[in-house]
Amino acid sequence: MTEVTDGVLHTLFRTDQGGHEQVVLCQDRASGLKAVIAIHSTALGPALGGTRFYPYATEEDAVADALNLARGMSYKNAMAGLGHGGGKAVIIGDPERVKTEELLLAYGRAVASLGGRYVTACDVGTYVTDMDIVARECEWTTGRSPANGGAGDSSVLTAFGVFQGMRASAQHRWGDPSLRGRTVGVAGVGKVGHHLVDHLLADGADVVITDVREESVRRVVERHAGRVAAVADTDALIATPGLDVYAPCALGGALNDESVAVLTASVVCGAANNQLAHPGVEKDLADRGILYAPDYVVNAGGVIQVADERHGFDFERCKAKASRIFDTTLDIFAHAKEAGVPPAAAADRIAEQRMAEAGRA
Ligand SMILES: NC(=O)c1ccc[n+]([C@@H]2O[C@H](COP(=O)([O-])OP(=O)(O)OC[C@H]3O[C@@H](n4cnc5c(N)ncnc54)[C@H](O)[C@@H]3O)[C@@H](O)[C@H]2O)c1
C-alpha cells in the first residue's frame, strides 16, 4: 500500500513524528463538550497526563496541542521512571464561560470509555474541584482533592523537584550543589514559582522575580520582606547583571533566539513546560556555554504526585521519588557530555530507549 502523507489520519496521528497510538474526538451535544484525547504511547503503562481547558483559536490548534502535549508526557513519564505512558486531553472553549458540571461529567464519561488506557489529571484551566466532578463518572481520574481520595495541589512537589534539578545543575556547573550566594531569577511566581522562591531563600540564594500579575509579585515580596528583588518584566530579568540561574516558571517558549542571545545566566532550570521555542534552541544554549536542565526532567514532581494517587497517595513516598530528580539530572548532564550532545537531546534519547525497550518486552 502506498504511504499516505497528507490525509486526515496522517494529521491526526502525526505519522511524521512516529505516530500516536490513539486520538479520540469527543462530543456531547447536550453539554456542548468538544474534546480531543490523545494517547501517544502506552509502552510503559496507561497513558497519564492532564486535561487542558482552553479557548483555542481553531480546532486544528486544539488537536496540535493535544498531540504535542501527549508526546511530551510520554518522555516526562519515562524519564521519571513511572509505569505510565503519555497522553493528554484538551477541552475546547473558554473555561470561564462554558465549564459546567454537566460538561465535566460528560468529559468523565468520555475518559471512562477508554477503560483505563488514559488516566487524566489537572492542567491549565482545570482544577482539583473539576477533577472531583470528573471522578464521579471516571475512576481513571487523578488530581482530586484530599477529601475525595486525591493528593490535591501538585505545585508543592513540582517546585521541590525543580529545586533538586537546580541543585544538580549547580553541582555540574560549579562543583557544589548549594545555591548559597548565587543569584537566581524566577520568571512567573504563580503556584510553582512562589514555592521555588521559598526553597531558594532557605538555601541562601539571592532571588530576583518578575510576573505579569502585580498581585503575585506583591505576595512574594511581602512574604519575604527585603529578601527578594522584583524587576519589571522577563526581558529585564534575563538581562540582570550577575544572574547565575534563570528559572522560567510561567508559560512555554521562554527560550527563543532573542532571549538566548541576551541571557546573562549560565544555567537555565525552571518549571515551565516546553521551554525551547523551536528545535535548535538547545544547541544555541550549548554554544553559548549555558547549561540547560531539560524542563520535563526537572518538573516531573507533579506527575510523580498524581501517579502516586492511583495507589493511595503518600506524600513522603512521593517526596523521596521527586528527590531522585537530582541524580537523574546529573546523569543526563554526564550522558550529554559523553555523547557530545546538548542535555535536551541526551534526555530524549534516554526516554526513547526506555520506551523502545518496554515496547519489546
Ligand atoms: N503546577 C504544576 O504542578 C506543574 C507541573 C509541571 C509543569 N508546570 C508548568 O510550570 C509552569 C507554571 O505552572 P503554575 O502551576 O505555577 O502556573 P500558574 O498559572 O500558577 O503560574 C504561572 C505564573 O506565570 C505568570 N506569567 C504568565 N505570563 C508571564 C510572563 N510573560 N512573564 C512573567 N510571568 C508570567 C502568571 O501571572 C502566573 O503567576 C507552567 O508552564 C506549567 O505548565 C506546572
Pocket probe for ligand 1: among 211, 215, 325, the residue whose CB has the most ligand atoms within 8 Å is 211
Q: Distance, CA 348 to ligand 1 centroid (Å)?
A: 23
183 by DSSP, 3-state: which? Answer: strand
Q: Distance, CA 190 to ligand 1 centroid (Å)?
A: 6
| Residue 318 to residue 316: CA distance in whole angstroms | 5
Known catalytic membership, residue 88: yes
Res. 46: pLDDT tops 70: yes
Q: Distance, CA 300 to ligand 1 centroid (Å)?
A: 14
What mean pLDDT do residues 263-283 have? 96
DSSP string spanning 256-282? -HHHHHH---SEE--S-SS-BSSTTHH
Pocket probe for ligand 1: among 53, 215, 249, 295, the residue whose CB has the most ligand atoms within 8 Å is 249
Q: How confident is the model at residue 3 (pLDDT cuts 50, 70, 90)?
A: low
Domains and CATH numbers, the chain: 8-74+85-147 (3.40.50.10860), 155-356 (3.40.50.720)
**Residue with CA nearest ligand 1 atom 5:** 302
145 or 17, which is more confident?
145
Which residue type sits at 155? S
pLDDT of residue 281: 98
| Residue 98 to residue 130: CA distance in whole angstroms | 13
Report the predicted TM-score, pTM, of the whole model to 2 decimal places: 0.92
Residue showing cell 495541589 = 153
| Residue 288 to residue 350: CA distance in whole angstroms | 24
| Per-residue CA distances from 137 to 87, 113, 131, 140, 280 (Å) | 19, 10, 10, 9, 43
Q: How confident is the model at residue 252 (pLDDT cuts 50, 70, 90)?
A: confident
Q: Tell me: the pLDDT tens digits for 47-86?
A: 999 999 999 999 999 999 999 999 999 999 999 999 999 9
The CA-based angle 275-193-151, given to 5 degrees, is: 100
**Residue with CA nearest ligand 1 atom 10:** 272
Pocket probe for ligand 1: among 131, 158, 199, the residue whose CB has the most ligand atoms within 8 Å is 158
Res. 182: pLDDT tops 60: yes
Q: How confident is the model at residue 5 (pLDDT cuts 50, 70, 90)?
A: low
Phi/psi of residue 92, each to 5°?
Answer: -90, 125
Phi/psi of residue 249, each to 5°?
Answer: -130, 25
| Residue 65 to residue 57: CA distance in whole angstroms | 12
Query: What's the DSSP call for residue 318?
Result: H
Q: How confident is the model at residue 17 (pLDDT cuts 50, 70, 90)?
A: low
**Residue with CA nearest ligand 1 atom 41:** 272
Mean pLDDT of the chain: 94
Query: What's the DSSP call for residue 15?
Result: G
- Provide the grid cell at 278: 523551536
Residue partners of 103: CB distance under 8 A and separation at least 6: 28, 31, 32, 33, 91
- Nearest alpha carbon to residue 154 among 294, 49, 268: 49
Res. 167: pLDDT tops 80: yes
Query: Of the listed 88, 99, 283, 321, which one is catalytic?
Result: 88
pLDDT of residue 358: 86
Res. 29: pLDDT tops 90: yes
pLDDT of residue 9: 73
Q: Tell me: the pLDDT tens digits for 196-244?
A: 999 999 999 999 999 999 999 999 999 998 999 999 999 999 999 999 9
Atom of ligand 1 nearest to the CA of 154: 3
pLDDT of residue 16: 63
Q: How confident is the model at residue 360 (pLDDT cuts 50, 70, 90)?
A: low
pLDDT of residue 90: 98
Q: Which residues are annotated as a binding site?
A: 188-193
- Provide the grid cell at 130: 473539576
pLDDT of residue 37: 98
Res. 4: pLDDT tops 60: no
| Residue 339 to residue 245: CA distance in whole angstroms | 24
Pocket around ligand 1: residues whose beta carbon is below 6 Å from it?
154-155, 158, 187-193, 210-213, 216, 234, 249-251, 271-273, 299, 302
**Residue with CA nearest ligand 1 atom 15:** 191
Percentage of the chain with pLDDT > 70? 96
| Residue 8 to residue 115: CA distance in whole angstroms | 25
Q: Tell me: the pLDDT tens digits for 111-147?
A: 999 999 999 999 989 999 999 999 999 999 999 999 9
Atom of ligand 1 nearest to the CA of 248: 11
Atom of ligand 1 nearest to the CA of 123: 43
173 by DSSP, 3-state: which? Answer: helix
Q: Distance, CA 236 to ligand 1 centroid (Å)?
A: 18
Q: Distance, CA 95 to ligand 1 centroid (Å)?
A: 17
Atom of ligand 1 nearest to the CA of 155: 3
